[in-house]
A and B are shown apart, each in its own frame.
Chain A
Amino acid sequence: MTQATTEATVPYEEALAAYDPVLGLEVHVELNTATKMFCGCATTFGAQPNSQVCPVCLGLPGALPVVNEKGVESAIRIGLALNCEIAPWCRFARKNYFYPDMPKNFQTSQYDEPIAFDGHLDVELDDGTTYRVLIERAHMEEDTGKSTHVGGATGRIHGATHSLVDYNRAGIPLIEIVTKPMVGAGERAPEIARAYVATLRDLLAALGVSDVRMEQGSMRCDVNLSLMPTGADRFGTRSETKNVNSLRSVERAVRFEIQRHAAILASGGSVTQETRHWHEDTGITTSGREKSDAEDYRYFPEPDLVPIAPAADWVERLRESLPEPPAARRRRLQGEWGYADLEMRDVVNAGLLDLIEETVAAGASPAGARKWWSGEIARRANADGRDVPAYAAAPRRDPRPCGGVGVVGHQRPTQ
């Protein structure tokens, strides 16, 4: 049997007639803590490259990590909001692999002891039905640095003459939220994927734990997809499409991968287990690196950190302090604004709830605010292929002045 990494597709309806998609989503969320996960460096987005670094996040010999308590708190709040169990005791683990933008050549992450696990998130679809997405786990980890490959045609490493690495991002706290495989979504898989990511984004925004700006990479989505013949119960080989960074792209990427897998399977081939790159412009995925089951990260418990054991009463206090769930909030706001169901759904799908709420709070009429954001601005956004919130004039966080270059002082994380 030939293994195929082609970009050929079959029509969507044809694919769905023969196969059931199995969907899994891994979402990485950058927390908006003021300092990094294991050191006291600032996390300001867009600072001069390598200006927010220290011995710890540069992985200098001898440096040691210290856990950012605010990061743990955010992780627990996310876990609670996703209806997860919170581990009474868990550890960090080292995920070992070599890559130039990873200063220690291991990522401090969590492996078999995630801080939150076994939860769910109810997702409202366009027709008003609710789909329950089961959450496998939410765990804490650190971001890597950011490589920029120079000289290649596509900005990827292949063909580049050299690469630049910015370690400002290295060590920024991430929460990885992993769903259980979603089975039975059928033709609605792309819609569910999009709705899940949108719901998750709203939830995280409501928690105030992240900027959740997909276009800046503070929320990144990997789409795992496989097909199995209709009625089968054994999952097929999956592909993992990395960094799908807008709601629209999530939907399109799922759709494309369904069509692509179906084309391979229909022609008698077998799907290659691999990571794939999403191309926003052409709407297709292309082969990344092959990812075999033999890939071995040699996880082991991080000996430089002590176990995390959140006190039960702390967890309960955090549970009590959770904000109004977005779905409840939507129902409340719809009542207050007097929007029709369809109007409300459009507003929510376009991610305009906060903007309209702010605009109404600033004195506009609910109807006027809706027309402004979902009319004029949405048209413009659609033409540019971006999300409307990217056009919001008011910055969500105050830009802070950045410090000098190459500061080597070291401090513990503060918040």
Chain B
Amino acid sequence: MTTELITATAAELAARLAAREISSVEVTQAHLDRTAAVDGAVHSYLHVDAEGALASARAVDRRRAAGESMPTLAGVPIAVKDVMTTAGLPTTCGSRILQGWIPPYDSTVVARLKAAGLPILGKTNMDEFAMGSSTEHSAYGPSRNPWDLDRIPGGSGGGSSSVLASFQAPLATGTDTGGSIRQPAAVTGTVGTKPTYGGVSRYGLVALASSLDQAGPCARTVLDTALLHEVMAGHDPMDSTSIDAPVPAVVEAARRADVAGMRIGIVRELTGEGFQAGVQQRFDEAVRHLVDAGAQVVEVSCPSFVYALAAYYLILPSEASSNLAKFDAMRYGLRVLPAGDDDPSAEQVMAATREAGFGDEVKRRIILGTYALSSGYYDAYYGSAQKVRRLISDDFAAAFASADVLVSPTAPTTAFKLGDKLDDPMAMYLNDIATIPANLAGVPGMSVPSGLAPEDGLPVGLQILAPAMQDQRLYAVGAALEARLQAAWGAPLLASAPDLTAATAKGA
């Protein structure tokens, strides 16, 4: 019974909750029990809120028992990335500098989850301030990949990807600045969407790079991802960059899974060289499945994509250096007094706190960004990067003139071993080579499992990209592929993941 509750999809749970076959308290408790059993090994959570989740679950059950008509996902529990503010729950962004900070307000996304009746299980681990591709830059230790506990679960949203892949939650939220939803989904065999920039409110998301950050849904199936997308998305007057337009019909697209006549563009620059053999193989197979489902394939070229990584690593640090300036020990968060000074100035306290509170990767990017914005360098760095950004948008526009969606492998490799790239920032950055262009152009993207790489038996993800505000196309393609692959496999990909309770028992 319990196993069934934690392996069920959110859509199944929602249906059974609506039919009152099961209660939200049962579902929530089952996931909390799972966390108690496996999270010691996986470390998906920075904070578990059992009491709060059960209280929300009880409230949903009561309302349902009273005959109230409830939103679709009411009673289905969810894990929230620790970058989103939660009133009364710690929000650390994986950073020492926010240790113990309890926000007085909910982010819009969290407010919408609460309004839709989703009990919040806890806050998931992440690279500090979402800077990283492995969670190894979390100040609170890395999360682990449920497929192989010695490997990374992706990043920055490795807490959310591993929480799904280890069946500790059926749904999770993420944020994606350069791939932080999609790459973790790819390496854990889960699904994640970065919506169109402006599609989901950023109010209450602790900003990494404001012009790139986008919150989105994470789940184990395409339909579940769509259901959560619909809850999170929509115009928010508190976010000036939020798009005031109806949410694309993502759930309908996921249910129809129709790609007949759709033109699938393969981006020449995002395949072949630099991609692991098994990753490329699963990508080619996935494309064949889509053709079998009625899509046609076109090849497109996006020549400016080769400059995307360089532009991204100027724009992101520039904005981040400014966004992270507020962490100064004056009003909240960590405060460190400089050693050996009885009467430090405010500036000395700021410096000592930032020295102690930020990790190396955060410092590295603050320094990069401060430099890139300096007078005399602005035009050469930030200014040029903005021009590249324009070129990348132009490339997308041209590609979407001949293709309805674009596809590529989500990440160049399967999950690497913890520690493998920690001392080589450039190697770590290259993980996001295929995901970054979408953030620079503001277009939506999804990662959906495409199988296991034959050489290492680890999950591979397919990335789908669509024009701005055409997010529903991602779901049509993702769902069509998912259906055909699962028919071929005879089960969801995660059914072949190792049994974590055994691993945990051994480890303990």
Taking Cβ atoms with an 8 Å cutoff, the residues of A that contact B are 55, 58-67, 94, 96, 98, 100, 103-106, 163, 165, 296, 298-300, 303-306, 408, 410, 412
Residues of A within 8 A of B318 (CB): 300
Check A100 against B207 for contact (C-beta < 8 Å). no
Known A298-B370, A300-B318; judge A61-B98 contact (CB<8 A).
Answer: yes
* In the bound complex, CA of A100 to CA of B373 (Å): 22
Q: How distant is A26 from chain B, measured CB to nearest CB, in Å?
A: 20
Check A412 against B370 for contact (C-beta < 8 Å). no
Residues of A within 8 A of B350 (CB): 98
* In the bound complex, CA of A275 to CA of B371 (Å): 26
Check B91 against A412 for contact (C-beta < 8 Å). no
Known A104-B326, A300-B378, A300-B382; judge A62-B346 contact (CB<8 A).
Answer: no
Known A96-B325, A106-B322; judge A55-B240 contact (CB<8 A).
Answer: no
Q: Does B104 contact A (CB under 8 A)?
A: yes
* In the bound complex, CA of A65 to CA of B326 (Å): 14
Check B332 against A100 for contact (C-beta < 8 Å). no
Check A298 against B103 for contact (C-beta < 8 Å). no
9 A-B pairs closest in CB distance = A105-B325, A298-B373, A303-B210, A303-B211, A408-B104, A62-B204, A61-B206, A62-B85, A59-B326
Residues of A within 8 A of B207 (CB): 61-62, 304
Q: How distant is B133 from chain A, measured CB to nearest CB, in Å?
A: 22
Taking Cβ atoms with an 8 Å cutoff, the residues of B that contact A are 84-85, 91, 93, 98, 101, 103-105, 107, 202-207, 209-211, 237-241, 318-319, 321-322, 325-328, 330-332, 346-347, 350, 370, 373-375, 378, 382
* In the bound complex, CA of A412 to CA of B108 (Å): 13
Known A61-B93, A163-B346; judge A303-B319 contact (CB<8 A).
Answer: yes
Residues of A within 8 A of B85 (CB): 60-62
Check B322 against A98 for contact (C-beta < 8 Å). no
* In the bound complex, CA of A55 to CA of B101 (Å): 14
Q: How distant is B100 from chain A, measured CB to nearest CB, in Å?
A: 13
Check A298 against B240 for contact (C-beta < 8 Å). no
Q: Among the listed B238, B346, B374, which residue makes an inter-chain contact with A64, where contact means beta carbons less than 8 Å apart?
A: B238
Known A96-B325, A300-B318, A306-B241; judge A63-B203 contact (CB<8 A).
Answer: yes
Check A98 against B240 for contact (C-beta < 8 Å). no
Check A304 against B241 for contact (C-beta < 8 Å). yes
* In the bound complex, CA of A66 to CA of B209 (Å): 18
Residue pairs across A and B with Cβ atoms less than 8 A apart, 20 shown, are: A60-B331, A60-B332, A61-B85, A61-B103, A62-B207, A63-B105, A66-B237, A96-B321, A96-B325, A100-B330, A103-B326, A104-B326, A105-B325, A163-B346, A298-B370, A298-B375, A298-B378, A300-B382, A305-B240, A410-B238
Check B240 against A103 for contact (C-beta < 8 Å). no
Residues of B within 8 A of A55 (CB): 103-105
Residues of B within 8 A of A303 (CB): 209-211, 241, 319
Known A61-B91, A300-B382, A303-B211; judge A100-B346 contact (CB<8 A).
Answer: yes
Known A61-B91, A96-B373, A306-B240; judge A298-B326 contact (CB<8 A).
Answer: no
* In the bound complex, CA of A60 to CA of B209 (Å): 16
Residues of B within 8 A of A67 (CB): 240
Q: How distant is A112 from chain B, measured CB to nearest CB, in Å?
A: 11
The residue in chain B whose Cβ has the minimal distance to the Cβ of A297 is: B375
* In the bound complex, CA of A293 to CA of B55 (Å): 59
Known A64-B202, A106-B322, A296-B375; judge A58-B331 contact (CB<8 A).
Answer: yes
Q: How distant is A152 from chain B, measured CB to nearest CB, in Å?
A: 13
Q: How distant is B113 from chain A, measured CB to nearest CB, in Å?
A: 15
Known A103-B331, A106-B322; judge A63-B370 contact (CB<8 A).
Answer: no
Residues of B within 8 A of A163 (CB): 346
Known A64-B238, A65-B240; judge A298-B322 contact (CB<8 A).
Answer: yes
Q: How distant is B446 from chain A, measured CB to nearest CB, in Å?
A: 24
Residues of B within 8 A of A63 (CB): 105, 203-204
Q: Which of A61, A66, A94, A408 has the most CB of B within 10 A?
A: A61
- Taking A61-B93, A63-B204, A412-B237 as given, write out 19 further A-B residue pairs in contact, using a Cβ cutoff of 8 Å, ordered by the A residue number: A55-B104, A58-B331, A59-B331, A61-B98, A61-B207, A66-B238, A66-B239, A96-B321, A98-B328, A103-B331, A104-B325, A104-B326, A105-B328, A165-B330, A298-B322, A304-B207, A306-B241, A408-B104, A410-B105
Check B203 against A62 for contact (C-beta < 8 Å). yes
Q: How distant is B378 from chain A, measured CB to nearest CB, in Å?
A: 7
Check A62 against B375 for contact (C-beta < 8 Å). no
Q: Among the listed A60, A65, A66, A94, which residue makes an inter-chain contact with B322, where contact means beta carbons less than 8 Å apart?
A: A94
Residues of A within 8 A of B241 (CB): 303-306
* In the bound complex, CA of A36 to CA of B325 (Å): 22
Q: How distant is B362 from chain A, measured CB to nearest CB, in Å?
A: 14
Q: Among the listed B105, B326, B347, which residue makes an inter-chain contact with A408, where contact means beta carbons less than 8 Å apart?
A: B105
Q: How distant is A83 from chain B, measured CB to nearest CB, in Å?
A: 30
Residues of A within 8 A of B327 (CB): 61
Q: How distant is A406 from chain B, measured CB to nearest CB, in Å?
A: 9
Q: How distant is B379 from chain A, measured CB to nearest CB, in Å?
A: 11
The residue in chain A whose Cβ has the minimal distance to the Cβ of B343 is: A161
Q: How distant is A159 from chain B, measured CB to nearest CB, in Å?
A: 11
The residue in chain A whose Cβ has the minimal distance to the Cβ of B324 is: A105
Q: Which of B98, B103, B202, B237 has the most CB of A within 10 A?
A: B103
The residue in chain B whose Cβ has the minimal distance to the Cβ of A58 is: B331
* In the bound complex, CA of A94 to CA of B323 (Å): 10
Residues of A within 8 A of B240 (CB): 64-67, 304-306
Q: How distant is A295 from chain B, measured CB to nearest CB, in Å?
A: 9
* In the bound complex, CA of A396 to CA of B209 (Å): 44
The residue in chain B whose Cβ has the minimal distance to the Cβ of A406 is: B104
